[in-house]
Amino acid sequence: MPRPNTHLPFFPMSTYYITTPIYYVNDRPHIGSCYTTVLADVAARFHRLFGREVFFLTGTDEHAEKVVLTAREKGVSTRQWADTNAQAFRDAFTRLNVSFDDFIRTSEPRHTSKVEAYIRELLAKGHVYMGEYSGWWDASQEEYLTETVAKEAGYVSPVSGKPLVKRSEKNYFFRLSAFETRLKEHIDRNEDFIRPEARRNEVLGRLREGLSDIPISRAIPADAPADDPSRWGILMPDDPGHRIYVWIDALFNYLSAIDTPERAKFWPAGAHLLAKDILWFHAVIWPALLMALDKPLPRTIYAHAYFVRDGRKMSKSLGNFVDIDTLDAYCERYSRDALRWYYATQGPLFATDADFSHAKFIEVFNADLANGIGNCSSRVGNMIVKYFDSKIPDSKGVSELAGYDWPSIIGQSVSAAIAAADRLDIHAALGEGRALISKVDAYINATEPFKLAKKIDTEPGARDRLAAILYHCAEAVRAASLIMSPAIPEACARLWQSWNCQIPVAHATQTLHHLCEYAGEHALKPGQAIVKGDALFQRADPAEAAPGTPAQPEA
């Protein structure tokens, strides 16, 4: 059993398992897959800073029929196409500085063998039976729609707009209906289970219509050739005439990846992160499967909204997709920390969709990074270099000035950031760091250290007052940088290097409170040398064309 972590009142576990959806390999990564993954990374880094042992999983979902079809179009084997794109996801996430602990591919034997074992267990326990299914098949989503949903959508796919096909087949069914009551009770009793609130209500609403059993296999026609899409996947145990439905196969990744003696301690997951498109699978089908396997349920299924472009859904046909090349171009020009910050603070974290807008990107980059932590840390660093011969000044025990009680201001920001990050409110958690920087700026304006500096040789007490002010500023900037570091780890690491206060971020065994503690164990030590360091972020020019956008012809 995981050991309780008494420093963390909100979820007193010493381990934290966080996952992203596993992405279809029929396409390359894009703004959406990168968003969820960076968000999960920021959460994972926060939890490491809270002293938890984190396991962060991402990966690829490979057994979809569309993978076979796209590979055919491209003239390569399905395996090759899956390999190429799985690698593209792994590389993209690495370029975005995502600190995943494992990358699972559903075509790997470590996954397929486990899925087989889970299905065997479900069969043995009587939760799976053979039956006949008939419904509206949405080929683009690999999903059956009920008559009601199909009718509402005008018998075309609500996602791709392609016609639905009436299909019926003999299938293995999972007794989803048997878990309806338990599931409703669980959602009712655990406010944290489905979040945000709007999504929880959506699921509760749909659950009122009742649950039917669902097919979990697809029949393989006896005459299907070896490379037929129907054969691409994991076979039903002891029945080569059926393939396990890709969604069931995929959901099991969350379990298969940690189903080893060393990793078992990570279950139940702290959070499954995803977008609203795949909420039902995660909030209803997945928990019911877990109940059937007698496994404890994850703490939170968190479904964010969508990134859109100019208010419209992004799609290839509209040609308004922010693709991985554009994202790479943003990283190249403004740094990957900059893109991560935009994602983490401006993304569609709650129920409302968010626009990806270049103007907003620049505005936030300049306000929060270049003029925010960047400018504030150089101001403070430069004054220490100039007035105290590049050595951290001694506050001589003074921790409160001009109405600012720094140990308590810092402590409150840290507490608020922990509480926010723990409920996955990443906007608010990072906002605490940003607000702390603003407080330092306001404090500098109120105490005017640059004016005081002119009097240090003439006015008694001026030098001590200046030393105290700059020590407070530096300690507050250090704490702010720690709080912001899950989103902008590289800039913060550079700052800590310049200020000679390297912090053991990865797999920290200390809690954030301890790391940030004013004048505490990890604090800046009076007399310690610092260097000026380069600006953390260069101000961006709002007039410059967006990266990755071809130059517009002049009118």
Please state the closest distance from residue 274 (CB atom) to ligand MSP, in A. Answer: 4
Please state the closest distance from residue 444 (CB atom) to ligand MSP, in A. Answer: 38
Compute the distance between CA of residue 20 and CA of residue 150 in angstroms, rounded to an integer.
29
Please state the closest distance from residue 408 (CB atom) to ligand MSP, in A. Answer: 38
Give 162 or 166: the residue with its C-beta nearer to ligand MSP: 162
Please state the closest distance from residue 282 (CB atom) to ligand MSP, in A. Answer: 7
Number of CB atoms found within 10 A of residue 551's CB: 6
Give 64 or 414: the residue with its C-beta nearer to ligand MSP: 64
- Crossing angle for the helix pair 31-49 and 336-346, nearest 10 degrees? 90
Please state the closest distance from residue 538 (CB atom) to ligand MSP, in A. Answer: 29
DSSP assignments along 311-323, one per residue = TB---TTTT---B
Using only C-alpha atoms, the chain has a radius of gyration, in whole angstroms, of: 27
Please state the closest distance from residue 32 (CB atom) to ligand MSP, in A. Answer: 2
Backbone dihedral angles phi then psi of residue 194, each to the nearest 5 degrees: -120, 125
Give 36 or 217: the residue with its C-beta nearer to ligand MSP: 36
Give 24 or 334: the residue with its C-beta nearer to ligand MSP: 24
Compute the distance between CA of residue 438 and CA of residue 422 in angstroms, rounded to an integer.
23
Give 347 or 486: the residue with its C-beta nearer to ligand MSP: 347
Please state the closest distance from residue 474 (CB atom) to ligand MSP, in A. Answer: 38
User: Do 276 and 171 meet the contact criterion of CB atoms below 8 Å apart?
Assistant: no
Distant-in-sequence contacts of 426-431, Cβ < 8 A, 24+ apart: 426/39, 426/42, 426/43, 426/46, 426/344, 426/345, 426/349, 426/487, 427/344, 427/345, 427/349, 429/46, 429/483, 429/486, 430/42, 430/341, 430/344, 430/345, 430/483, 430/484, 430/486, 430/487, 431/345
Give 278 or 420: the residue with its C-beta nearer to ligand MSP: 278
Please state the closest distance from residue 25 (CB atom) to ligand MSP, in A. Answer: 8
Compute the distance between CA of residue 103 and CA of residue 110 in angstroms, rounded to an integer.
12
Which residues make up the interface to ligand MSP (CB under 6 A)? 21-24, 32-33, 35-36, 61, 250-251, 253, 274-275, 277-278, 306-307, 314
Residue nearest to ligand MSP (CB): 32
- Please choose, from the candidates 123, 145, 137, 130, the residue with its C-alpha nearest in 3D space to the C-alpha of residue 166: 137
Give the residue carrying structure tokens 């604090």: 523
- Please choose, from the candidates 69, 115, 130, the residue with its C-alpha nearest in 3D space to the C-alpha of residue 234: 115
* Tokens representing residue 7 in the block: 């420093």
User: Do 445 and 380 meet the contact criterion of CB atoms below 8 Å apart?
Assistant: no
Give 23 or 267: the residue with its C-beta nearer to ligand MSP: 23
Give 142 or 517: the residue with its C-beta nearer to ligand MSP: 142
Please state the closest distance from residue 44 (CB atom) to ligand MSP, in A. Answer: 15
Compute the distance between CA of residue 339 and CA of residue 341 in angstroms, rounded to an integer.
5
Give 17 or 443: the residue with its C-beta nearer to ligand MSP: 17
